[in-house]
Chains A and B, each alone.
Chain A
């Protein structure tokens, strides 16, 4: 293959697509991100909160979207669709059609005047039609790009030119362009990532749900919008029929999932159990009356992810009702209420009335996406999800085209984010020779030394069209700014952020020799980077800058009090000027990167991560405590899809051993770690010192062996009792003679979901059922009983559960009050268990008893986490930086995690996570230097008493006691600039650069100065 292209096409701008684009663009590839709607954000932007942390969805998503929107190496193509892809890995030719927006994105300032004046109201698809929007609209308030778009389906002018046209007249920026036309782009890329997401199942085809017939039956996605503060009822939670707060709500699970009868979807949608619990919890929180009766009707409660089971436990403690029943009819009742008919656990028919019914709809592939997949030659499986294998979890059937997110199987956000990084990694593996060949890099002139200069402050007061100027007297504020000490220039601009004003600002800084700049306009959260960049372009340090927020926090919130708003604006400008006067130029800190990785643990996760990096040319040291490669993978028989694991593992071991970039250290452990991202130094137990830029922790977990206690079940005492892994090993060695077994019993949840191990081990249901199927297929005469609590064969694994039942394997549910009793009669096993369906005790005499025992964290993982300053969760697994959006990063930069040390997971997820960790590590390794925080803490050694309070409050271990001086010392590579140490210091000895006490107080004192009579006003 000739040199590949250095760019990648990502299709779909949801969280998976955005993550893949950011990973690629940050590690040296140019990305074309194609999104069919007017803004990126996908389904996640529609959610109110996310489980299990109850984080506000938009808040955690928005920074990623803004980053994506501003990225120099991401070409955002909204309102666009892929028409065709030709070529092969390394060189694809893509045709994209971009539909007209009718609004010039370079001019639109998102003031909203157009939408306010637009006379055409249409159902808002973002709120699933529950609310309305105008024909000119923003997809949602935090949309990226934050630009309006005209909906040609509904625009009066576009349908009949000459009519209406109000938006054009109202737009202060002249951004409306009714003459906009579709454009076709021909794009050349080296690889393609499909992140096309899912569509919520439409329950109107299931008549028993009453959806579409009764107003107060809504889908879960609709309910998200009803809960959302930016939704149609502004977060007040109203039911559609009468806009009253519902006091009794039911959730019906598995609507459009696990239903081969009517919905034709045999798979489990994986996420609905958790989102229903979350919605029930949030509904109770949101409720103004404070007493919402919430009931969830379910078949099996599938809370199989990290932190999910604890969330379920808490929901039950808080009084949310869980009913194990599939509701068969939703009927109308008086007062727009709904009557549900269902069978109770005792088998009797029951009825209950609810004020609102939420259908927990499943995830399915959009028919449009199916057509696109067909057009692109991507195979879909029988469930219409992209076909992948356990060993290649992000590869599609077409080489060079990868998949991530819900397109491959229903999955939650962290799993999608993980796969997005894994897909990015696969693209990088093909394209690494072309890294940095198509990316652009911003160049800045050298910076002027302003240390010796007296402050020469320039103040730019923005009118923001009329957003500020209609309330605040901007001319008076500008005149007032001239009077402030140090100010040598003040001017008013219509739009300070417009390209021409930005250019002008750079010229003024140079011409007037400004050395400090204040912009009084909108919020620094969106615009500070833009203005700071302007300072750099004009040759001064970007930290010599402050913003006064006179729009979001002034003109917009005091619309009826222009006088007070103007005085406040003057105060805010005076505060900003007082603060900027004390600002110092700060270094753009960076750390040179040692371009090699340390991978700890040589199981499937560790070996996959090591190979993923080594294949891109980065040297890797792979450390394994045992004396051979393979880890726990050695003990597994096959994946749930039926591929044997041992041959795959042998291949993996061979590849690792023959890869000259990988240095394998067997029988070694980590003794000491120093340094931080870019420059770690680690000493191994064999005395070897390794310098590395990043580290990936993949130390795995252990299988729980119930040697005593209530989960013992004669394990270790009767030879017929096995754990899942022990049976797998017998399968591998061919030591099980299934033909001579009459009966086998599997007990699920052995040591999982119990007070001492309150999490679900995720893998055991699928694993046990697959083993049972293997036995049954070998000997169809054998009776097999599965004693379970909830079957958690999530996603496509549900098909195994269906197959097992079809084969005649019998499932008996038990609960913690009725744990199966296992005894011995002359060496023969006897199991008694209560079958809740026939309401009677059943006695079994198996020749084989298999315990689906828990996956437990390794005991020594705590020491390792301390060495790398990583966090651990309360159940002993390692804790990622953010449960939702940073699933493979640690809070400590440059350290990543993969595999079972994070949480129990099957091999396909382990491989995806290892690749994701490699992708994240690649962000560091692909650069010569990585930026470090500039606003960091500094210790005044004269004042420091060595009390060490600062070292205790620092969450990043960035402050340590220097043993030589006995005083605190800050590691600027680790410091994040939060200021906890500054506030904690008893002797005023530690300060934050440009955010010291004096500087903050200068702003506070400035706020108190009263404006002198006649000044400004």
Chain B
């Protein structure tokens, strides 16, 4: 393996995961309870609802140095706050296009529905998102360098 390839393999991105309290955060807990293993790249921020997450928060996370962002909420129809996850989904669709437009790889920002009973799925999503971000390498577009 070349040095670069080795470094790439060892490099662990930092991914901010905004998880809603009622479904996805509980799903992440269940992944633990069931001992599903996934890469140690996620830094989970608990929010009441995926609808609480604004485009600004996602951009701010990238600006402060996150290599990727994951936003996860309840499945459609399951939102604890009736409709928050739908707003999140719409906001996310718009943001995705915007990211492409400003030159940020859309794969850095990910969205998923994970319910409180989907521990395995959470681990899978965490692994997939990590792999995706790993392929892109460290994010430097929005980071302020002093």
Q: A residues near B, CB below 8 A?
A: 53, 55-56, 58-59, 62, 141, 229-230, 234-235, 523-525, 549, 551-554, 556-561, 564-565, 567-568, 571-572, 575, 891, 935, 953, 955-956, 976-980, 982-984, 992, 995, 997, 1000-1001, 1003-1005, 1007-1008
Contacts and interface: CB of A to CB of B under 8 A. Distances in A.
Nearest to A1001: B60
B4 interface: no
B87 interface: yes
A762 to B, nearest CB: 24
Interface in B44-60: 44-49, 51-54, 56-57, 60
Given A59-B115, A575-B45, A565 B60 contact: no
Contact of A980 (B16, B34, B40, B81): B81
Contact of B120 (A53, A229, A524, A980): A229
B116 to A, nearest CB: 4
Given A141-B33, A560-B37, A955-B84, A1008 B65 contact: yes
20 contacts: A59-B117, A523-B32, A549-B29, A552-B28, A553-B31, A557-B38, A557-B40, A568-B40, A571-B43, A953-B83, A955-B82, A956-B82, A977-B48, A978-B52, A978-B81, A979-B84, A983-B52, A1000-B57, A1001-B60, A1008-B14
Among B40, B87, B123, max chain A CB count under 10 A is at B40
Interface residues of B, number: 55
A183 B34 CA distance: 34
Interface in B2-52: 12, 14, 16, 21, 23, 25-26, 28-38, 40, 42-49, 51-52
Nearest to A141: B33
Nearest to A229: B117
B120 A976 contact: no
B99 interface: no
A955 B80 CA distance: 11
Given A558-B37, A558-B40, A980-B81, A1001 B57 contact: yes
Nearest to B65: A1008
Nearest to A56: B117
A977 B81 CA distance: 9
B145 to A, nearest CB: 14
A983 B50 CA distance: 10
B68 interface: no
B66 interface: yes
Contacts of B48: 935, 977-979, 992, 995
B78 interface: yes
Q: Which are the 8 A-B pairs with shortest beta-carbon distances? A: A979-B52, A552-B32, A556-B32, A978-B81, A955-B82, A564-B40, A983-B54, A56-B117
A565 B43 CA distance: 11
A575 B42 CA distance: 13
Contacts of B88: 983
Contacts of A553: 28-29, 31-32, 42, 44
A559 B81 contact: no
A208 B81 CA distance: 49
A556 B87 contact: no
Given A1003-B45, A1007-B16, A980 B60 contact: no
Contacts, number: 157
B104 interface: no
A229 B118 contact: yes
Given A575-B45, A980-B51, A984-B87, A552 B33 contact: yes
Contacts of A53: 77
Interface of B: 12, 14, 16, 21, 23, 25-26, 28-38, 40, 42-49, 51-54, 56-57, 60-61, 64-66, 77-78, 80-84, 87-88, 91, 115-120, 123
A525 B26 contact: yes
Contacts of B120: 229, 234-235
A238 to B, nearest CB: 15
A59 B26 contact: yes
B39 to A, nearest CB: 8
A935 to B, nearest CB: 7
B43 A572 contact: yes
B36 A557 contact: yes
A980 B43 contact: no
Nearest to B28: A553
B56 A551 contact: no
A933 to B, nearest CB: 10
Nearest to A984: B87
Contacts of A62: 116
Given A229-B119, A557-B36, A978 B51 contact: yes
Contacts of A935: 48
Contacts of B66: 1004, 1007-1008
Given A978-B81, A995-B47, A1000-B47, A56 B65 contact: no
Given A557-B37, A979-B49, A955 B28 contact: no
Contact of B40 (A141, A549, A561): A561
Contacts of B115: 56, 59
Nearest to B120: A229
Nearest to A547: B46
Nearest to B83: A955
B29 A55 contact: no
B84 to A, nearest CB: 5
Contacts of A1007: 14, 16, 43, 45, 66
Contacts of B46: 524
Contacts of A560: 37
A553 B28 CA distance: 6
B33 A995 contact: no
Nearest to B38: A557
Contacts of B31: 552-553, 556-557
Contacts of A56: 115-117
A982 B81 CA distance: 14
Contact of B47 (A559, A564, A979): A979
Given A525-B29, A557-B35, A983-B88, 10 more contacts: A56-B116, A229-B117, A557-B31, A558-B40, A565-B40, A891-B82, A982-B54, A992-B48, A997-B60, A1001-B64
Contacts of B118: 229
Contacts of B40: 554, 557-558, 561, 564-565, 567-568
A551 B52 contact: no
A560 B37 CA distance: 9
B111 to A, nearest CB: 14
A997 B117 contact: no
Nearest to B81: A978
Nearest to B123: A557
A1007 B64 CA distance: 9
Given A235-B120, A992-B52, A1008-B66, A552 B47 contact: no
B35 A556 contact: yes
A828 to B, nearest CB: 52
Nearest to A1008: B65
Contacts of B91: 983
A557 B32 CA distance: 5
A977 B65 CA distance: 29
A413 B26 CA distance: 23
A891 B44 CA distance: 29
